[in-house]
Each structure stands twice: as structure tokens, then as C-alpha cells.
Amino acid sequence: MNDRTIRQAFQALDQFKIELPSWGFADTGTRFGKFFQDAAASTTEDKFHDAGVVHRLTGCCPTIAVHVLWDFAPGQNPKDVAKLAKKHGVKIGAINPNVFQDQEYKFGSFCSPNARARKTAMDHTLDSIELGQAVGSQFLSMWLADGTNYPGQDSIYRRKHDLTEAFRKIAAVMAKKWKGATLLVEYKPFEPGFYHTDIQDWGMAYLLAKACGKNAKVLVDTGHHLPNCNIEHIVAILLDENMLGGFHFNDRKYADDDLTLGSIDPYAVFRIFDQIHQHMFDTGRDPKLAYMVDQSHNLKPKLEAMVQTVDEAQKQFARAALVDRKALAMAQKRMDVVGAERVLRDAFETDVRDLLADWRAGHDLPMDPVEELRASGIIEQLSKQRSAERKARGEVRGGSFA
């Protein structure tokens, strides 16, 4: 690496911010059972505290995404929640309405045949918009569990029309009451709907966002794709259409496995960031994407897993910034397939640990945030503290949420 490429990487790291998920610090599990960790967050303040720890270690996680039903008590002043986040050195990021866990949504939310369920989903989402405006958020992130399990179960056409009408209303209310905020439309090919899901892929999310107007864009969850899908191709198309709003980062071997970023395929993470850097090089514009983590840490300690993911994201983002774009363009123009690939591989195979350590030193951050966390004793301390607090509250942990 020469001085110019190092400066490029430093500038990229200065701009790179990644949002943490509140639910990633709490107890999670699988459809077959819930696995407990003594240090897991039990309260909203616990989650904000843990997000603050990750931000202090990495320097690039100033916001935390929240789930409305999980992080705001009924009747609670949302500004008090924002103050609680600020107390721990973070701000509230994306607002996630919850239109999937209540029994009323058994057959869907906005797509349900039941008009009452559709109204409940809309009322909750409109409340979430007011909440987002009150706490100074910039994003409403919508993921639906809507779908069907059997052919003929419901009308796909009716569901599409009701969904489009609902999202148009949501976007219109946001444009009026929550100016500058973006509606992020997420997709997922299956689960819990195994015959069809109402927003199955990026194309359906794109059409829905386009129908909503200028304040709606597509959210790409890196685990929400069928096997062997070329995610960076999707990213490039959405960027070129100015319709990519952000990401939920995780990794997977089979489907929506919610594994730590890069634990299975770090080259795939690099290739996604490469397309983002290429777009910025070609256009001279920063697309201002919302980078977010969305993971379920069932086996790894939650704080360690989160810091590990952020560290990996910084590494791959820095590597993508090292690609020699002019050399790549020349190789592509000559139709030099091997040469073009080598330009990418050279950047991907660059050891950026020393570069990251230098960047961190310049920002008064620990050179190895994962090792710093492991040596700090914070997790052991939180295990004792939170176990005692749960016992004092009379909380009983056990059973399954299957």
C-alpha cells in the first residue's frame, strides 16, 4: 500500500458508520428453543449500554436500531427513551414496527384477509412514525412476515393491492409528518410463509418502493436470498436506479442463518462493498446508505459477536477502498478477465490489520477491539450484575418460543 491508497482507506473508514440492533443484545434462539446468556440484555437500558460499549471500542456505531414493541413501554414518552440512549453514548436509529408477533397477524398484517388485522397493523405503523419523528430517527424499517403456506390459501392479487395501498399511505404520512425520513422496504424469500411471501425478493421490494414515491427505498438483508444468489449484482442495480436505502448485515450457509458477518464468506462481503465503492468512483456521489447489523447470537457471547461483526465490516470496507479503480477499468476495457479479477483479489487479500490499527490509534480507539473486550472482564461483570437484577425482579427464564 502506498500513501495515496492508505489515505483512501482512512477516508473511507472515517465515513463508514454501522448501526447496531437492540435485539442483537437480548436473549434469542431458534424455532425450537431459546438459549440464555447471563450477560444478555434484559431491558432497553441494558441494550443501550451494550451498544455504547461496542461504539466505544470500534468508533463507528453511533446509532442503535429499535423495535417498537420490544424497546418502548406502553405510554412511555419516546423522548425519555432517546435520553436513555444518549446517556450511554448512542442515538436511536431505525424504527422497526412490529407487525408479526401478535396473534392477530396469524394470516398476515397489511395483506391479511381480515380488515381488523390490516387496521391494527396500520395504526401501529402510524404510531411508529410519530415515535420516530419524536426521537429524531431517519428511517422506518419495514419487514413483514406476510405470506401463505398453501396454494389457493388466499388471493395473491388482493394481497398485492392491499399491501401497495397501505405502503403508499405510510409513505405519504411520513412525507407530511416526518420530513427527511426514509421508508426502507425489506424482502425475504421465505419464512414464515413457505408457499409465497408477499415481498419475496428485491424486485417486489423495488416495485413497492417505487409506488410509494421518493422517500421509499429497498433494504437488502444479506441473509434474505436463495442459495447462490448474486447479492452484489442486486446491490449494483439498485444503486444505479437510486433505489438502495441500506443493509441488514449478517452471514449464512443455507438461508437466514443470522451468523456474524464474514464468518462463512468474507469475499461476498468484500464484493458488496466493492460495488458500493465502484458506484461512488463512477458517480462521485456518496449514496448515503444505512448500514445496519441484523444478527442473532445464540452461541457466541453477544457483545463479542457484535464487536467481531463490526471489526469484519471495517476490514472489508477498507479493502474495497483499496481497489485500483483505474487499473480495473483498463483491464476491463482490454477484456483482460484474469487481470481484472487480480485487481480485485489483490485488494481483498491485503492484510489491513495494521492499517486499521493505525486508523484506530488516530481516533484513540483500541487497536484490537475484540481482544480489548475479551481482556476487559466486562462480559463477566455483566453476567453477575444482570443475573442478580433478574433474580431481584423475580424473572424466570426457560421454555421455548416455538
Q: Per-residue pLDDT tens for 208-249?
A: 999 999 999 999 999 999 999 999 999 999 999 999 999 999
pLDDT score recorded for residue 28: 85
Consecutive H or E run containing 389: helix 378-393
Listed range (4-8, 24-28, 120-124, 296-300) with the worst mean pLDDT: 4-8
Q: Which residues contact 303 (CB under 8 A, 6 or more apart)?
A: 25, 39, 50, 53, 54, 373, 378, 379, 382
The closest of 148, 141, 242, 146 to 186, measured between CA atoms, is 141
Amino acid identity of 324? Answer: D
What was the pLDDT predicted at 6?
Answer: 87
Mean pLDDT value across the chain:
96
**Quick check: 397 pLDDT over 80?**
no
The answer as to whether 343 is a domain residue is yes
Backbone Cα Rg of the chain: 21
- Residue 401 resides in a domain: no
In a domain, 398, yes or no: no
Check the CA dihedral 339-344-348-354 and report its sign.
positive
What is the rounded CA–CA span in Å between residue 326 and residue 377?
A: 47
Nearest to 77 by CA among 124, 138, 135: 135
| Any domain includes 399 | no
The pLDDT value given to residue 399: 45
**Which one has a higher pLDDT value, 28 or 126?**
126
Assess contact for 310 and 60: CB atoms under 8 A. Answer: yes
79: three-class secondary structure by DSSP:
helix
Contact of 192 with 203, CB cutoff 8 Å: no
Closest CA to 1 of 350, 358, 362, 353: 350
Q: Is residue 397 part of a domain?
A: no
Task: Please count the structural domains in the chain.
Answer: 1
- Residues 6 or more apart whose CB falls under 8 angstroms from that of 266 comprise 312, 316
Task: Summarize the confidence of residues 92-97 as an average pLDDT.
Answer: 98
- For residue 402, pLDDT over 70 is answered with no
Looking at residue 19, its pLDDT comes to 98
- Residue 138, in any domain of the structure: yes
Taking a C-beta distance cutoff of 8 angstroms, is the pair 110, 122 a contact?
A: yes
In the beta sheet, which residues pair with residue 21? 65
DSSP 3-state of 103 = helix
CA distance linking residue 110 with residue 292, whole number of Å: 25
Q: Would you give the DSSP letter of residue 26? A: B
Provide mean pLDDT across the span 282-295: 97
Retrieve residue 228's grid coordinates. Answer: 447462490
Determine contact, residues 20/64, Cβ cutoff 8 Å: yes
pTM: 0.96
Share of the chain above pLDDT 90, in %: 93
d(CA 197, CA 99): 14
On whether the CB atoms of residues 71 and 81 are closer than 8 A, the answer is yes
CA distances from 356 to 222, 260, 360 (A): 24, 19, 6
**Which grid coordinates belong to 187?**
424482502
Q: What is the pLDDT of residues 118-173, one digit of tens each?
A: 999 999 999 999 999 999 999 999 999 999 999 999 999 999 999 999 999 999 99
DSSP state letters, 296-339:
--SSS-HHHHHHHHHHHHHHHHHHHHTS-HHHHHHHHHTT-HHH
User: How far, in Å, are 41, 93, 159, 192, 386 from residue 51 at the CA level?
Assistant: 10, 12, 38, 29, 16
Q: What is the CATH number of the domain that holds 282?
A: 3.20.20.150
CA distances from 44 to 47, 74, 238, 329 (A): 5, 13, 34, 48
pLDDT at position 398 is 61
User: Residue 202 belongs to what domain range?
Assistant: 3-392
If one counts every other C-beta atom within 10 angstroms of the C-beta of residue 56, the result is: 16
| 339-375 residue pLDDT tens | 999 999 999 999 999 999 999 999 999 999 999 999 9
Whether 400 maps to a domain, the answer reads: no
CB atoms within 10 A of CB 117: 21
pLDDT > 70: percent of the chain: 99
d(CA 198, CA 187): 9
d(CA 344, CA 328): 8
Residue 31 has pLDDT above 80, yes or no: no
Does residue 401 carry a pLDDT above 70? no
Residue 187 lies in a domain: yes
Return the bridge partners of 291, or none.
18, 247
Nearest alpha carbon to residue 265 among 228, 300, 215: 228
